[in-house]
Structure 1
């Protein structure tokens, strides 16, 4: 099973963040666009893809698997509800890797049946960014998940800050995702570099 491109995994909502965080050294970035559709959505994804290529970033597109196939995006990330409709055979045939969200043992079993390239567990801590049907999982669940999935890469997400990065890696996460700890930071580029340095020490 191939390793993740990098231990830190910023999740951003606009292309400009791919440019900024990519320039700062992030090499594995998820674009999660929630407020655009049609031509505007496609333009934003293309701009993010251009920035990703410019900086050598492995871009992950959240949800829009058809666009990912058409545009040749590196990865997609899907939630459990997306598994009902996504054509993962077409995704695989296009050479696109994919990660799946999990929140419970049932969801993990279902995710593993699709043979993803990584699984994400969350929220590890409480998160303010979106209403979650599942409560905080805790770092102990990361250790449990890692034992269950073996060599398959595990991503921790939800309520994660720089101060919590090491705990996630020590618990068994191969990658650690965060949103606001990068995009709401007063110095996002500096924060990427802090995360990278800390991740390398873990």
Structure 2
């Protein structure tokens, strides 16, 4: 199966609660300017209409800068907004059903939280796995137990597609995470709550690029 071509090196997962009162578009724009090339719009509390409007606006802002937008959970929102793809979890729509709805050219990401889920993902029509949480995180209440670097490496060994590491990834541990061989980093508070989101993204992107992952 041919897969969409996109840059997985640094993915920003949005969390409006982590923005410290700042504007979502401003923070995301700065993160993209700093090197984030994939943005996952995660909105647990927005109405459907608001979610679609946010997605449309965000896509219009980041695409001219070379970034792609995926929508967390909501296939309907992704389709309505013309987003670049969808990221689903284990309790969301099955990736095969997502693919049937969005077609072959859009991105599908799948969260896996351990070896069993990574193994079960083999053969699924997904383009990347979001594996974690690597470290204990407070930004996702149902994230599950931390897998650590060893657990991340085990999930990576089972994966048939590129893997993004997620879960309290920050500049202090990013090099060690990249050393496992993952394709990139997915971050929330490390950028959303940073005093300078652009500088934080630039620092993380430099660590990713230094790892030389293709």
TM-score if structure 2 supplies the norm length?
0.84
For 1:39, the equivalent position in structure 2 comes to 49
State the aligned residue count. 201
For 1:28, the equivalent position in structure 2 comes to 38
1:140-170 residue CA offsets vs partner (Å, 9 max, x unmatched): 12222222224x1011101111111111110
Alignment match of 2:199 (pick from 154, 168, 190) = 190
- Seen in structure 2, the aligned counterparts of structure 1 residues 43 and 194 have a Cα distance that, compared at 3 Å, is same
Take 2:95 and 2:69, find their aligned partners in 1: how far apart are those partners? 22
Shift of 1:92: 4.4
Shift of 1:85: 9.1
For 1:177, the equivalent position in structure 2 comes to 186
Unpaired runs of 5+ in structure 2?
A: 16-23
For 1:9, the equivalent position in structure 2 comes to 11
1:71-119 residue CA offsets vs partner (Å, 9 max, x unmatched): 3211211000003598323344262110100112332233224221011
| Mapping 1:70-109, distance limit 5 Å | 70-83=80-93, 87-93=97-103, 95-109=105-119
Take 1:26 and 1:7, find their aligned partners in 2: how far apart are those partners? 7
SS at match of 1:87: helix
Shift of 1:54: 2.5
Take 2:33 and 2:163, find their aligned partners in 1: how far apart are those partners? 25
- Seen in structure 2, the aligned counterparts of structure 1 residues 106 and 16 have a Cα distance that, compared at 3 Å, is same
Please say if 1:166 is aligned against 2:175.
yes
CA-atom RMSD in angstroms = 2.2
Judge conservation of contact 1:65–1:86 (CA < 8 Å) in 2: no
Take 2:101 and 2:26, find their aligned partners in 1: how far apart are those partners? 26
Judge conservation of contact 2:9–2:37 (CA < 8 Å) in 1: no
Please say if 1:120 is aligned against 2:130.
yes
Take 1:63 and 1:50, find their aligned partners in 2: how far apart are those partners? 20
Unpaired runs of 5+ in structure 1?
A: none
TM-score if structure 1 supplies the norm length?
0.89
Judge conservation of contact 2:170–2:204 (CA < 8 Å) in 1: no
Judge conservation of contact 1:125–1:159 (CA < 8 Å) in 2: yes
